Structure 1
């Protein structure tokens, strides 16, 4: 069976000695230029050329591949090329900043702010050429914006995000994302996500954290203890849902299950036939998520105007074609349910209500009947499906096994930056997690803290109740102590205690100005804010009793002769030679000539060396070394900068009031 590229050669006019044929033009213009997607592009062309003609197929190729070029960057290039391109952009901006600084050096009216402003304009223009639109907060200083745009890591993150989303959207346009092909997301994206997770895991394994007690753990080990572990994340979600339902039953509130979907124009293919949807307008899953988010915001605003409260959970998951839809498990006062349903339906059908299937699919409402089962049990399958596919269900609604579907859903959410789970109208889960840090093992530190800060007796008693509920995993009791569902955040008795991070030993000293700053600053010059604990009725409670320092993991290898037993791990396997204290080396008897390898052995060694260079562990070590090198260069540049000229005010005599 011929491949799609060979099939595409049958379409179009043949060439001659002077003019290339249509097939040669397509090969050069599209297939050779984008080898990663060449077969998929050819398949899409053949499909359209058969139905609409050769010219229509060529126009489709031109329109689709336009998304694969972002200024000077080809999004189908591999990650190694991406890293180098990111470094080049950062160097170009740094070079331009130096040139502008040199040009304005002789201008007595010019200031450092002028250099920053002109360089920032250049940097933003370069980002725009790459189709990157930095979403900086309005109040962010220009110096911090420029610091980001001058950082290769910032460029690397944004180029990776841009490339993965452009490639996935092209896969959707080609028709590679639906139930009969790559369900939820394309196989290309699943592979790229797998490679990204391998890089991340290698980096976590290469870095270790050590606390003040000398305990050292790799970041991979620590991440397995937290919510990065999907089993822990699923367990916490199910606990919060189950106990929220218990509290709702105690209050007599009614449970409702809503499903919100997008209009037809957001779907690239039809639901049943998986054929092209003529109403599709090219929207991405992120556009669809923005549409439902704005719709939900209007619904909540109307509910607030009518003082109709609700609380619960929303879950975002993809249709088979990658278009998101929402499932919401909501509780509300039983007397308000009818009006809430009316508002939801009015807003859900405000957009194109007459299109086929809108009345039936745009909004679905199911009343939770406790006699038939719990709400937690109803939503459990959605939680499992969108985390790791473990427990509760063996296959999705399309009949695909969860072992294969769950990784595709995770890759879909990662590539499009979609938050899958969010609670509404409930207390801060950060407070819950921070209080759970104060276990019985920290009872002594807690007593010492209270002795030093002396909170009131009522506060101490409330903290005891809060600790008891959190450490027992009783979310319903915690919910009650925090004021109950729908309590505004500013009226809840506890909230996270966030403060600016202070400089550790000498980190805030500037060799240029001679000043020492108290507040620590991050990589981009902004003040760092960290969570220290919780504020409970105005009293500060420390929950983080460990201070951590990050360093590269120290490993003993065969090359490390300072480690005892480095050849095998025991005294018997220590390095040895033919020389001892009684006899000298017999160089006449031993000819120390290197062994000549056979061609097969040389080829095997070269193969192993190439595999080592391509491994994720090697890439992680190279990235860490590069980051350390950049930090050293920044420190050296700061050290070698000349001292600033004295201010004009330095020559003025001091004024001492009498």
Structure 2
């Protein structure tokens, strides 16, 4: 019997739930959607709902930011004290009351004046000083804290003012008074972008000076070369006011007794450089870094207690320079006219720019000098020459040196160069001769001192040592007294203790890369010598100090060119008999053979020997002008090869002209980049790798079976990964992220309380907090970012930093 819907709907219920009386599920009474009454019935979260919530939160924050900004603008332009007299009086009373309170506090506690002066300094000065003040204050020793402020911080601020006065001369201030050049007065506080903008303004000012000079001097169409030189003099005078020596200044400046005619052809490239913003950017940036470093030396932030040899800021900048250089080398290659290409990184690593090659060459040269000295019967003496106390900014205990006269690192280097030149002149007048090598390295505060390994006749040793001591201690003699050891030391090398090469090996290594000195501790700084090599390299680069210098022997550039020529001849004459001559002249071929086998002793003797004037050397380096002009219109000088006065013509060792180009992009990788790419929205609605992992773990995107890399050995895995394109690497990385690695056991290094204190102290000296969280992170094998893309970690009971150039040493 058929039953109507009306009958079913109005049928009486005899008990139970309403669902029992309903035939169809869709006819069941639904519950009202109200999340406030029943939160359990809220719709489940999805990717879309999360995305909408994020967008809503961003819109809310943006709206609050705009409202805050509008309120600040409204208060600044409509409700400030300059427009409202009542508000102005209230603000003035508040400022006066604050000043009176601060003055009263400073009158009862003079230390607050010192802290206020420190806070008024630029960030690169105030931040590290305030950290040290905070540390001393946390010790809870009021007297020591006050003594530190008055005996250390106050003298540092006074020294800082003297350094600034010596840096900014009257002519420099006059240049800063021109429109747009006010930034010259705060040059040490600028970053690289600000220095670039300032260099553009300086170049524009030089261009205006040249226009004015041309308008005053060039009154007729027939312009004489002397009038052009007078215009150059005006622009050069403006550059000299900025403490920058103009290009070709010595050749073009006025001289009373000029032996050669004026090289007028040097005027256009010199003017082009002084009108170029890039040239000024390099000059001003170098000046900014030097001035900033000298200010840090003045406030005792460069010493063995803080940062030895050079500031951490300079070290980080040097790391960044090396990183950019390495990226540039990896992205470029060299190509010649025949289409042959060379990887630029491989070329740089094979050259003398590689620290390992430079160290090996110098050690071979010193060994050659040692063999020659044994053959001649000469003795070896090791000298150490130090600057007077007025060049040292900091004492050994890290406190300011009261005798320091604001002398810079460059001035200390110039002092030693002038002293050595005066001594060499006096030595030649007396008929004494020597040969050897000198090494320039820094004290803990950056001041230069020299180590010299010299070979001489045994009968001349006492005379040379006495004469060198006389010139080394002649300035500020009264501060030494009877003990001249702090300024001058000499030691006759005893063959029983070691060879001359072993004496100088440590100084050569620690000033290049620290090879073989991992366990050696510096007596001056108390740190490993291998770690200090990076600081020494940054110090030499910043202050432009020549670290190594050989004297009394033939040049080493001809040695390198001869080795290059021997290698080229071996490639051309591959089937020639071993030991066959390369050059027709037997004397020249003997020099080439000595250089080819790397024997410096034979090379020097075949060149004529030690203590021989340069004009008598048998083989010399040949130079020529570049074919293409530079960006400034002049043709620079490059190495051509070698030449000899006993043979006609020159021998070219650089016949191929190589051009630097950027590496081409792989077509397969470029096509792979056209596939999957980063989405423009917050979330990817179709993550390919996740879908593949869920649908079938053994299938790839095109249906092929994936390669099982777990069954490969190391060589097969290496080849397989290198053959993958970018798309396949991204898919492999996405699959690896889905597999969670097993949690390893808890690992933590065990150190003593003394080692923990040393770790905390070194962390604070490097600018970190030294908190328990940082110490625990390092002990558990973690790392902390230290800038320039590097990280600091704790290994073998000392702090280390990963260096991308270490694999080149």
TM-score range, shorter chain: 0.7 to 0.9
> What is the match of residue 428 of structure 1?
555
> What is the match of residue 535 of structure 1?
643
TM-score by length of 2: 0.60
- Secondary structure of the structure 1 residue equivalent to 2:516: coil
- Secondary structure of the structure 2 residue equivalent to 1:487: coil
Match of 1:163 among 279, 288, 296: 288
Match of 1:93 among 206, 215, 219: 206
What is the Cα deviation at residue 275 of structure 1? 2.0
Whether 1:81 and 2:161 are equivalent positions in the alignment is no
Match of 1:551 among 627, 645, 661: 661
CA distance in 1, matches of 2:213, 2:115: 44
Whether 1:316 and 2:440 are equivalent positions in the alignment is yes
Match of 2:504 among 379, 387, 391: 379
> What is the match of residue 621 of structure 1?
none
> What is the match of residue 565 of structure 2?
438
Change (3 A) 1:323 1:60: closer
Change (3 A) 1:60 1:322: closer
CA distance in 2, matches of 1:28, 1:598: 50
CA contact (8 A) 2:333 2:344 kept: yes
CA distance in 2, matches of 1:53, 1:313: 39
- Secondary structure of the structure 2 residue equivalent to 1:326: strand
Could you list the runs of 5+ residues in structure 2 that have no partner in the other structure?
1-93, 107-111, 134-144, 177-182, 253-265, 575-580, 685-786, 790-809
Whether 1:597 and 2:682 are equivalent positions in the alignment is yes
How do 1:246-257 and structure 2 match up within 5 A?
246-257=371-382
Match of 1:492 among 593, 613, 617: 617
CA distance in 2, matches of 1:444, 1:409: 39
Match of 1:418 among 533, 545, 563: 545
CA contact (8 A) 1:479 1:485 kept: yes
CA contact (8 A) 1:319 1:325 kept: yes
CA distance in 2, matches of 1:207, 1:135: 30
Whether 1:475 and 2:600 are equivalent positions in the alignment is yes
CA distance in 2, matches of 1:59, 1:346: 35
Match of 2:391 among 266, 273, 285: 266
CA distance in 2, matches of 1:265, 1:615: 35
Match of 1:16 among 79, 96, 101: 96
What is the Cα deviation at residue 227 of structure 1? 1.1
CA contact (8 A) 2:159 2:298 kept: no
Whether 1:198 and 2:297 are equivalent positions in the alignment is no
CA-to-aligned-CA distance 1:247-279 (integer Å, 9 cap, x gap): 1101111111111111111111223x2322211
Change (3 A) 1:464 1:294: same
Deviates further, 196-205 or 534-543 = 196-205
CA distance in 2, matches of 1:34, 1:167: 11
> What is the match of residue 299 of structure 2?
174
CA-to-aligned-CA distance 1:417-472 (integer Å, 9 cap, x gap): 0000000100111110000002354247689xxxxxxxx99952123212211111
CA contact (8 A) 2:114 2:154 kept: no
> What is the match of residue 400 of structure 1?
527
- Secondary structure of the structure 2 residue equivalent to 1:550: strand
> What is the match of residue 515 of structure 1?
none
Whether 1:566 and 2:680 are equivalent positions in the alignment is no
CA-to-aligned-CA distance 1:210-247 (integer Å, 9 cap, x gap): 12332323433321111110000000000000111011
Deviates further, 360-369 or 47-56 = 47-56
CA distance in 1, matches of 2:152, 2:511: 41
Change (3 A) 1:129 1:325: same
Match of 2:428 among 267, 286, 304: 304
What is the Cα deviation at residue 348 of structure 1? 1.5
CA distance in 2, matches of 1:231, 1:313: 19
Whether 1:39 and 2:165 are equivalent positions in the alignment is no
CA contact (8 A) 2:608 2:617 kept: yes
CA distance in 2, matches of 1:488, 1:104: 47
Say which one has the larger Rg.
2
Match of 2:250 among 121, 131, 138: 138
Change (3 A) 1:96 1:15: same
Change (3 A) 1:243 1:530: same
CA RMSD of aligned residues (A): 3.7
Deviates further, 315-324 or 130-139 = 130-139
- Secondary structure of the structure 1 residue equivalent to 2:585: helix
Match of 1:281 among 405, 416, 419: 405
CA distance in 2, matches of 1:93, 1:341: 51
- Secondary structure of the structure 2 residue equivalent to 1:437: helix
Change (3 A) 1:300 1:546: same
Q: Number of residues paired by the alignment?
A: 536
> What is the match of residue 344 of structure 1?
468
CA distance in 2, matches of 1:53, 1:277: 10
Structure showing greater relative contact order (alpha-carbon pairs closer than 8 Å, 6 or more residues apart): 1
CA contact (8 A) 1:349 1:359 kept: yes
TM-score by length of 1: 0.73
> What is the match of residue 516 of structure 1?
none
Deviates further, 133-142 or 232-241 = 133-142
